[in-house]
Amino acid sequence: MRILITGASGAIGAALAGRLAGAHELRGFVRDPARVPAGLDLELFVGDVHSGVGLQRALADVEVAYYLVHSMEPAAGESFERRDRTAARRFAAAAARAGVRRIVYLGGVLPTQGAVSPHLASRAEVERILLAAVPDSVALRASLVIGARSRSFQAIVRLVERLPLIPLPPWRHSRTQPIDERDAVAYLAAAAQAPGVGGKSLDIAGPEVLSYGAMIERIAGHLLVHRPALSVPLTLGSLTSTVAAWVSGERVELLGPLMSSLRGDLLADDRVARRELRIRLHSFDAAVENALREWERIELGSG
């Protein structure tokens, strides 16, 4: 089967390419080929989903297309929501014209109560656009993905390592179900051909429900450090994201929208995904151990 991975230079896209290699004819669609990890067995197509350049050529004769693109950072004064919408519409139209059978999209778990953050609302809008254009498509929804190249996971680790204490707003009590990157990738791979999931949006999640505060404590334990938490008022939320970005070396344009999504529980209902896709899940501790080990290997290799 000919498969296109849009976002092949990202953490999930590269891991997915490695998992699918050898079983399918793979293409990768990227803006910068230099960012694609070496050794991946896929044909690279250079282009841009936001402008649409290169899309039609990359999608020619493709049966399944993975859409793993997120516009977390604004460009030239344009909001990330508008960039997400424009890119999704262009990709969806190009995929429909090319006769793509299924798009597989990785979005975010939506809250069951309370307001939806702009970040998650944008993910949901992209999901609707893609499923409307190619009806047999599948949307998978995950919360925090634990992986060596995950920017959000890397930011948490750096904060724990570099700060003598962790400033946490009230969202430290919010609960979610982090998923091992290996399991998220396994779900994505299975979704390409599973017969019972076409046209559906499926939550995927790890086996444990944890508060963000508990996650940070567990990660600190794996790092063999003790970092007490400092409670800060909700009104200091924007300051917290600014400090977190500065300490972690990450962009506030990324962390700000992510943190805005943490003010309520993000709990998945993954019963359908587990029944239809049958993925064996790793524990949270196994996910963290694997991510830290892989991160160390990558840094040693680049050094």
**pLDDT at position 236, please?**
44
**What average pLDDT score do residues 122-135 get?**
96
**Rounded to two decimals, what is the model's pTM?**
0.90
CATH superfamily of 2-210+258-302: NAD(P)-binding Rossmann-like Domain (3.40.50.720)
Pairwise CA distance, residues 282 & 99, whole Å = 36
Q: Looking at residue 208, what DSSP letter applies?
A: -
Per the CB < 8 A criterion, the answer to whether 143 and 205 are in contact is yes
pLDDT for 239 beyond 70: no
Name residues whose C-beta falls within 8 Å of residue 12's C-beta, 6 or more positions apart in sequence. 68, 106, 145, 147, 181, 184, 185, 188
Summarised one tens digit per residue, pLDDT across range 28-56 is: 999 999 989 888 889 999 999 999 999 99
Output the pLDDT for position 45: 96
Give the per-residue pLDDT at 118: 82
Which residue is listed with tokens 């402008």? 51
pLDDT at position 279 is: 97
At residue 62, the pLDDT reads 98
* Distance (Å, whole) CA 263 – CA 266: 9
**246, pLDDT greater than 80:** no
Amino acid present at 232: V
- Looking at the chain, how many residues does it have? 303
Give mean pLDDT, residues 212-225: 90
pLDDT of residue 213: 85
At residue 237, does pLDDT exceed 60? no
- 259-286, pLDDT tens digit by residue? 655 667 889 999 999 999 999 999 999 9
Averaged confidence pLDDT in the chain: 87
Instruction: Determine the pLDDT at residue 101.
Output: 97
Give the three-class secondary structure for 232. coil
**Where residue 115 falls among pLDDT bands split at 50, 70, 90?**
confident
Work out the burial of residue 205: count CB atoms within 10 Å of its CB; fewer than 13 is exposed, 13-18 middle, 19 or more buried.
buried
Q: 74 falls in which pLDDT band (50, 70, 90)? A: low
pLDDT band at 85, cuts 50/70/90?
Answer: very high
Least confident of 12-21, 63-72, 155-164, 199-208: 155-164
